[in-house]
Amino acid sequence: MGFMVKSKNLKYEYVRTFEVNNETRTETFLALNNVNIDIEKGSFIAILGHNGSGKSTFAKQINALITPTEGTLWVNGYDTKNEEFIWDIRQSAGMVFQNPDNQIVATIVEEDVAFGPENLGIEPSEIRKRVDSVLKAVGMSAFKKYAPSKLSGGQKQRIAIAGVLAMQPKCIVLDEPTAMLDPEGRKDVIETIKRLNREEGITTVLITHYMDETVEADKVIVIDNGVVAMEGTPREIFVQVDRLKSYGLDVPQVTEVAYNLRKQGINIPADILTPEEMVSAVCQLKSII
Amino acid sequence: MAKVALDDITLEINDGEFIGLIGHTGSGKSTLIQHLNALIKPTSGEILLNGADINADKTKLKTIRQKVGLVFQYPEHQLFEMTVYKDVCYGPTNLGLSSDEIDKRAKKALETVGLGEEVYEKSPFELSGGQKRRAAIAGILAMQPQVLVLDEPTAGLDPKGRDEILNAIKEMHKRLGIIVILVSHSMEDVARLVDRIIVMHQGKIAVTGTPKEVFGQAEMLESIGLAAPQVSYVMMGLKEKGFDVPADVYTIDEATEVLYALLKQVK
């Protein structure tokens, strides 16, 4: 299996401008420092990190919205620093941002989804086919004639995802797609993302603050201060409760309960991630008595 | 066609209560809070503040809005002054207070939300997400409201920013003794902070009670698009398996205690 995204010693610096006592000053800020990340084709990767850790900066690199100051990033085999490939890269990796209202351009759902492929100069009949199929994929077919403004946050976000899918990307990068949604909207969006990964084989990079959304990821990467601080399966990552907290992150409630119990000498597995796992762990321990 | 956004809401909030208001998008919770400081008038019925109808006298609206402070979602979008200190002074200045009083109020409000002197002269835009939001809350506090309503104050923040805000709100409630109404999607956050929960659904109050009473009804919460905190589901699962555990456990500490008692012989 090849890599969809691969970074080698990636560094990214930018110049920050700010005002102190009415004077404009600038300073160079190292947002990503020597980042080596490999994302396999078809995998589901979650990236965690507190605000300002550099995780969104990395996401923007995947879409070549920004390019490395030093080192290299390959997306679908294309070096993002080579401007010749910029459209190939952006078609390979689509992005979904936090606020759905900033990503919707048309006044009718199906026209919004058609916007991307229209700009690629695709045949109208093919666009029709794509729009219908991606709206079905995100479970929004019934809303194709609606005005996006009449939809809930979760529905709008699924329209934004459909708009990206209509470009037929190989990889989709979602930067906190559920941060502005209510629990139901979050669930719908996350289920849609997981299904697309599983059924369509789209490489998925999910950036989030919600740990429970990352439990089923193939790999979790924690970015802190611009460096890769942790990398592993969700189980390998979440058992390190103290370390995650030191990076300003959370663990699922049940994982923290297991951690507390272990500290008090109870021999319960540390890698409990869901309520069901906790229930069966307790049952198992009790059956020993 | 007229749509009924709120239907037959009868509700009393006592002095000093800390209320959690929950409900999914479109349940009517934002409409309800906008009634509390007369931004929206009820089609029928009335809202009493200290026993007086807030919509009875239009000339008193300014006082009502000073008494009932409303912190909207993403309040940091409303920061506009050159410095944090000036921004917090804006409200009291418009009340026509003396400059000494304005200074006193601004400093107290900033201290209450945990922002020290080192940020006074900073531009609000230099602050972190959590700090910006606390500065915006301080701006409302400086008006010395009797009721403070916060609409999803943690939306979009990372766990650290979220904890900063929630701790500031908790501390503020403790110190000022005012009514705090926290609108939230996060059951975990509400569970560890509030005295009483009001659950809205389709413009009505679906249920109200202490966190224990409300989270004990996980199935009902799910039927209206909400969920109980994660550990509640552990307790329900254990009960189904025949274990004698309380159903109304919703915080990490309580769950640890209950499970420890259950498992200590295994040690």
> For A170-204, what is each residue's pLDDT tens digit?
999 999 998 877 777 888 899 999 999 999 999 99
What is the ipTM score, two decimals? 0.76
Query: With contacts defined as CB-CB under 8 Å, which chain A residues touch B263?
Result: 261, 266, 268, 282, 285-286
Average pLDDT, chain A: 91
Query: With contacts defined as CB-CB under 8 Å, which chain B residues touch A250?
Result: 159
> For A203-230, what is each residue's pLDDT tens digit?
999 999 888 899 899 999 999 999 999 9
Rg, C-alpha atoms of chain A = 21
Query: If you measure CA to CA, which chain B residue comes closest to A51?
Result: B158
Rounded mean pLDDT, A110-138:
93
The strand ranges marked E within chain B are: 18-22, 48-49, 52-53, 68-71, 147-151, 179-183, 196-201, 204-209
Query: With contacts defined as CB-CB under 8 Å, which chain A residues touch B128?
Result: 51-52
Residue A128 CA to residue A250 CA, distance in Å, equals: 43
Are the C-beta atoms of residues A15 and A26 closer than 8 Å to each other? Answer: yes
Query: With contacts defined as CB-CB under 8 Å, which chain B residues touch A212?
Result: 230
Residue A168 CA to residue A162 CA, distance in Å, equals: 10
Average pLDDT, chain B: 90
Are the C-beta atoms of residues B173 and B147 closer than 8 Å to each other? Answer: no
Whose CA is closest to A211, among A180, A185, A250, A161? A250
Residue A178 CA to residue B174 CA, distance in Å, equals: 32
Residues 6+ apart with CB under 8 A from B152: B73, B183, B184, B185
Residue A241 is predicted with a pLDDT of 92
Is a pLDDT exceeding 80 seen at residue A285? yes
Query: With contacts defined as CB-CB under 8 Å, which chain A residues touch B238?
Result: 279, 282
Is a pLDDT exceeding 80 seen at residue A20? no
Give the domain ranges of chain A.
Answer: 3-233
> For B233-245, what is each residue's pLDDT tens digit?
999 999 999 999 9
Cross-strand partners of A27 = A16
DSSP assignments along B144-178, one per residue = --SEEEEESTTTT--HHHHHHHHHHHHHHHHHH--
Give the domain ranges of chain B.
Answer: 18-209
Q: How far is CA A271 from CA A211, A229, B113, B129, B188, in A?
A: 14, 19, 36, 32, 21
Query: If you measure CA to CA, which chain B residue comes closest to A188?
Result: B225
The residue type found at B20 is: G
Residue A23 CA to residue A268 CA, distance in Å, equals: 58
> What confidence category does residue A151 fall into, taking pLDDT thresholds of 50, 70 and 90?
confident
> For B178-229, what is each residue's pLDDT tens digit?
999 999 888 888 888 999 999 999 999 999 999 988 988 888 888 888 888 8
Interface of chain B against chain A, CB under 8 Å? 24-26, 123, 126, 128-129, 155-161, 185, 188, 225-227, 229-231, 233-234, 237-238, 241, 243, 252, 255-256, 259-260, 262-267
Query: With contacts defined as CB-CB under 8 Å, which chain A residues touch B260?
Result: 261, 264, 266
Residue B103 is predicted with a pLDDT of 96
Interface of chain A against chain B, CB under 8 Å? 18-19, 50-52, 98, 152-154, 176, 179-180, 182-185, 209, 212, 248-250, 252-254, 256-257, 260-261, 264-268, 275-276, 278-279, 282-283, 285-286, 288-289
Residue A21 is predicted with a pLDDT of 64
- pTM score: 0.82
Helix, strand, coil percentages for chain B (3-state, nearest 5): 50, 15, 40
The residue type found at B114 is: G
Residue B8 CA to residue A164 CA, distance in Å, equals: 43
**Was domain B18-209 assigned CATH 3.40.50.300?**
yes
Residue A31 is predicted with a pLDDT of 93
Q: What is the DSSP letter of B184?
A: -
Residue A289 is predicted with a pLDDT of 54
Is a pLDDT exceeding 70 seen at residue A141? yes
The dotted CATH code for A3-233 is 3.40.50.300
Residue B265 is predicted with a pLDDT of 78
Helix (H, G, I), strand (E, B) or coil at A110: helix
Residue B173 is predicted with a pLDDT of 94
Residue B20 CA to residue B210 CA, distance in Å, equals: 10
Residue A5 CA to residue A89 CA, distance in Å, equals: 11
Share of chain A above pLDDT 70, in %: 97
Q: Are strands A93-96 and A171-175 parallel, antiparallel or unpaired?
A: parallel
> For A30-59, what is each residue's pLDDT tens digit?
999 999 999 999 999 999 998 889 998 999
Helix (H, G, I), strand (E, B) or coil at A153: helix
Is a pLDDT exceeding 80 seen at residue B267? no
> For A48-105, what is each residue's pLDDT tens digit?
998 889 998 999 999 999 999 999 999 999 999 999 999 999 999 999 998 888 888 8
Rounded mean pLDDT, A17-22:
68
> For B54-109, what is each residue's pLDDT tens digit?
999 888 888 999 999 999 888 888 888 999 999 999 999 998 899 999 999 999 99
Residue A19 is predicted with a pLDDT of 66
DSSP assignments along A182-231, one per residue = -HHHHHHHHHHHHHHHHHH--EEEEE-S-GGGGTT-SEEEEEETTEEEEE
- A22 against B75, higher pLDDT: B75
Residue B1 is predicted with a pLDDT of 60
